[in-house]
Amino acid sequence: MSGTFTDYVDGVQYTNGTIDLIQTEAGKAQNNGGTYTYHYNLADNLGNVRYTFDIYGGAARKLQEDNYYPFGLRKSAGSPVSLENKYLYNGKELQYELEAYDYGARFYDPVIGR
């Protein structure tokens, strides 16, 4: 078989058997050819990621800013500078193919609110 395979194990994302992404409480560490870049998330009381930044040249640099409608539909407040954060509403991963959030056993569609 050929293609890209992604496995998720306790906050660690493997792509084709190598560590690609490590989720932490503060954000994520992404593997870039053996070195890790750190992206930090600021979330509200519900776990919705509102602001993503990294440290560049000793200062915080905005990567992404998001706002949400009441049922989770995303309205982007700014375009991302580099890699886009997929863990957004309630800290769940947005599946771009379905435009739905992955809640484990079920997917959540923010357009219809269920």
Q: What residue spans define the domains of the chain?
A: 6-108
Q: Which band of pLDDT confidence, cut at 50, 70 and 90, is reported for residue 77?
A: low
83: CB partners within 8 A, 6+ apart: 30, 39, 63
Q: Which helix (H) or strand (E) holds 27?
A: strand 27-32
Q: How far apart are CA 5 and CA 17, in angstroms?
A: 8
Q: Which helix (H) or strand (E) holds 22?
A: strand 18-23
Structure tokens at 20: 């690609």
State pLDDT tens for residues 44-69: 888 888 899 999 999 999 988 888 88
Give phi and psi for 87, each to the nearest 5.
-95, 100
What does pTM read for this prediction? 0.72
pLDDT, residue 72, reads 82
